[in-house]
Amino acid sequence: MNKILSKPESLKEASLSYCPGCGHGIIHRLVAECIDELGVREKTIAVAPVGCAVFAYDYFNFDVTEAPHGRPPAVATGIKRTNPDKFVFTYQGDGDIAAIGMAETIHAANRGENITIIFVNNANYGMTGGQMAPTTLIGQVTETTPFGRDPKREGYPIKLCELLATLEGTTYLERVSIYNPKNIINAKKAIKKAFQCQIDGKGFSLVEVISNCPVDWGMTPLDSIKWVEDTFIKSFTLGVVKDKIEV
């Protein structure tokens, strides 16, 4: 009998610690599948964030280092510049990348560092209990916006892909989601394209993955998927934001 599906070599035989219904497990698998298919596992170095994916090194079956909160792009820059033959990517949440780490993100992108960022956007601070994040939607209730995010008080959601698209140093930026099989397939294509961008030495790439966080959103997993489809992606439009790969 032919085997048509198996666990990616780039994932360890480990049980994930993420909450029920969380999207990180799907995204981990997509990343691992892409690395296997591109044949770069033996030269991959990932940089884990402070956040829900802080224990990524327990799940990925390749070298993973840890960075201080918000600093993965800076750490990845140092690794890539001193080891240009390695494949280097960061895996970050919305608080890590767009709040405490915004400066590192902006400057790595502006310099056109030949690294890849996988940015998981679940519109809140997941690890610490569901506080408002830079990406929290207008009107969204969180632990720190109990009456909903008010732009007069907390400002507007940061659209990171659109922000980075204004910088000359960025090459490939795409926003995807994983709320149904079609979008999971599209997400894998985007991740693989971003990884190939780095392999080909074409510069800075980032894939933003809109993901659900049912526990901190106070929803069932099914309701959280529906909220992504009906509400989340209405504010954070899916698609390619910038693509200079073919130019």
Give residue-wise pLDDT tens across range 25-45: 999 999 999 999 999 999 999
Q: What's the pLDDT at 247? A: 62
Give residue-wise pLDDT tens across range 128-184: 999 999 999 999 999 999 999 999 999 999 999 999 999 999 999 999 999 999 999
Q: For tokens 């219904």, name the residue.
A: 21
- Domain boundaries in the chain? 23-243
Q: What does residue 66 show for φ and ψ, rounded to 5 degrees?
A: -105, 150
Q: What's the pLDDT at 121? A: 97
Which amino acid, one-letter code, is at 136?
A: T
Rounded Cα distance between 20 and 194, Å, is 28
**Of all residues in the chain, what percent carry a pLDDT higher than 90?**
96
Protein fold of 23-243 = Rossmann fold (3.40.50)
CA angle 173, 174, 176 (to 5 degrees): 155
Q: What's the pLDDT at 2? A: 80
Give residue-wise pLDDT tens across range 187-202: 999 999 999 999 999 9
Supply the DSSP symbol for 207: E
Task: Please choose, from the candidates 188, 139, 151, 157, the residue with its C-alpha nearest in 3D space to the C-alpha of residue 29.
Answer: 188
Rounded Cα distance between 134 and 100, Å, is 10
Give residue-wise pLDDT tens across range 201-247: 999 999 999 999 999 999 999 999 999 999 999 999 999 999 999 76
pTM for the whole structure: 0.97
